[in-house]
Amino acid sequence: MDIFLQIIISGVSLGAMYAVGTIALSLLWGTMGMMNLAHGSFIAIGGYMAYWCMTVMGASWIFVLPLALAAGMLGGYLLYHLVVRWMFERKEFSVDIIIATVAVAALVENGLLNVAGPEAKRQPFSISGGLKLGDVVLPYQTILTVAVAIILMVIVLYIVTRTKMGIVIRAVSQQQVASQLMGVNVMSAFAQAMMLAGGVAAISGVLVTGATQLFPGVGFDTTIKALVICIIAGLGNLRGAIFMAFVLGLFEVAVQYIFGQQYGFPAMLSLVIVLLILRPHGLFGKETVERV
């Protein structure tokens, strides 16, 4: 029984980390048709901001999230204007941007490596201790991560569905020409979407690195896993992605407990591949009709 509970707790923690990752990724896919392989860079930037703020500057934890948000938004703005906008019009954008963002991820990782050093650091924005449930402990950091994941999701969903900025971002993603003809500056709308995604990703980075460790390449694995989760949920489907993040997090942890640590991700990926062979558009994805 305790093992069962332990699996659920670890699974939820892992799921929460995946979930915060999927929010920014499916936002960008849903609005711009862009898979952001540099998502991990934002995670790392968020983590290093927290480290710099608290450990280096000795400032209070209160400043960490606003700082990470600002850094992430700046990163999103730069990524759009330096890279994305130059290839957006291309027919092959969806693949070109994967190659380009892999390069961006490597660039940022290399930069952090040179500035902050290769060694793993403890990121101070974390709560120690946990809630005792019988013999197992539910870490406060997990509760915090789950809570922030849900809050971020609610905020992002609110912005996208209810605010003017969100309506504009959706309009631009659905019909660029018509948006221009309504007086929308398409480039600034995309820049806004990327800033939103960047800010969310950096905040998620603070939480993810708080639960694990901080090193220059920290986000890359999480990015790939989160993208796989987005694909299986049906890309662009935010609620589905979050749900699948928890399901697959639980599955991965269960496999780890039963068969051994190293088989978690392989088993999860195999499950995803089988599911995708059965449902190529994802579990909650829409069947889209391609026009020739």
Partner 1 sequence: MTSAIQVSNLTAGYGRRQVLHNISLDIEEGMVVGIIGPNGHGKSSLLKVLSGLVPATSGQVFMGGVAIDGMSAHQRVAKGLVQIPQGDLVFPDMTVEENLLMGGYLAQGRTEIDRRVNKVYEMFPRLAERRPQIARTLSGGERRMLGIGRGLMIEGQIMLIDEPSLGLAPKVIDMVYEVLAKLRSVSPTLLVVEENPVRLQAIADRIYLMDNGEFVWNGTPDELSRNSDLIATYLGA
Partner 2 sequence: MNRSAQNTKRKEIWRDFWVGLAFVAIAVLIPVFDPGNYILSQITLFFIWAAVVTQWNLVFGVAGVYSLAQMAVFAIGGYATGMMGLYAGWNLWAALPIGALAAVIASFLIGAANLRLRGPYIAIMTLAIAQVLYALIVTDVECFIYKGKLCLNFTGGAKGLIQYGDFGFKELLGFKYRVLGDYYLGLVLLILGMLFALFIMYGPLGATFRALRDNRICAEARGVDRVRNQLLVFALSGIFTGLAGGVYAGIQRTFGPDVLSSTLLLFLLSMMVVGGRGTKWGPILGAGALMLVDTILRDFGEIRVAGLSLIILVVMIFLPRGLVGLVEDIFRWRPQSRWDERVKDGIARVDFREFQRLRNPKKHPLGTSGNNG
Q: Which residues of the shown chain bind partner 2 in the complex (CB under 8 A)?
A: 35, 83, 86-87, 90-92, 94-96, 98-100, 102-104, 106-107, 109-111, 113-114, 220-221, 224-225, 227-228, 231, 235, 261-262, 265-266, 269, 272-273, 276-277, 280, 290, 292
CB 244 within 8 A of CB 228: no
The CB-of-286 to partner 1 minimum distance in angstroms stands at 10
Among 180, 213, 262, 270, binds partner 1 (CB under 8 A): 180
CA distance 39 to 222: 9
Render the burial of 213-247: b for 16+ CB within 10 Å, e for the rest. ebbbbbbbebbbbbbbbbbbbbbbbbebbbbbbbb
Give which of 69, 16, 28, 70 is closest to 249, Cα–Cα: 16
The CB-of-173 to partner 1 minimum distance in angstroms stands at 9
Give which of 8, 7, 9 is closest to 139, Cα–Cα: 9
179 binds partner 1 (CB under 8 A): yes
The CB-of-15 to partner 2 minimum distance in angstroms stands at 18
Among 83, 137, 150, 171, binds partner 1 (CB under 8 A): 171
Q: In the block, which residue shows the tokens 């460790």? A: 213
Which is closer to partner 1, CB of 171 or CB of 269?
171
**Count of other CB atoms within 10 angstroms of residue 270:** 12
In the chain, beta strands by DSSP E: 130-133, 136-139
Applying CB under 8 A, the span of 97-105, 161-169, 225-233, 262-270 interacting with partner 1 comes to 161-169
Give which of 194, 204, 222, 153 is closest to 49, Cα–Cα: 204
28 binds partner 1 (CB under 8 A): no
In angstroms, how far is CA 198 from the centroid of its own chain?
9
The CB-of-288 to partner 1 minimum distance in angstroms stands at 11
Site for partner 1 in 61-90 (CB under 8 A): none
CA distance 229 to 207: 19
For residue 150, the one-letter residue type is: I
CA distance 18 to 271: 16
Dihedral of CA 172/85/17/123: which sign? negative
**Count of other CB atoms within 10 angstroms of residue 86:** 12
186 binds partner 1 (CB under 8 A): yes
Which is closer to partner 1, CB of 186 or CB of 269?
186
Q: Which one of partner 2, partner 1, none is in contact with 228 (Cβ closer than 5 to 8 A by kind)?
A: partner 2
CA distance 27 to 170: 10
Which is closer to partner 2, CB of 220 or CB of 251?
220
Which is closer to partner 2, CB of 5 or CB of 269?
269
Q: Which one of partner 2, partner 1, none is in contact with 53 (Cβ closer than 5 to 8 A by kind)?
A: none
Which is closer to partner 1, CB of 103 or CB of 167?
167
289 binds partner 1 (CB under 8 A): no
Among 5, 184, 271, 275, binds partner 1 (CB under 8 A): 184
Length of the chain: 292
290 binds partner 1 (CB under 8 A): no
Contacts with partner 1 by CB under 8 A lie at: 164, 167-168, 170-171, 174-175, 177-186
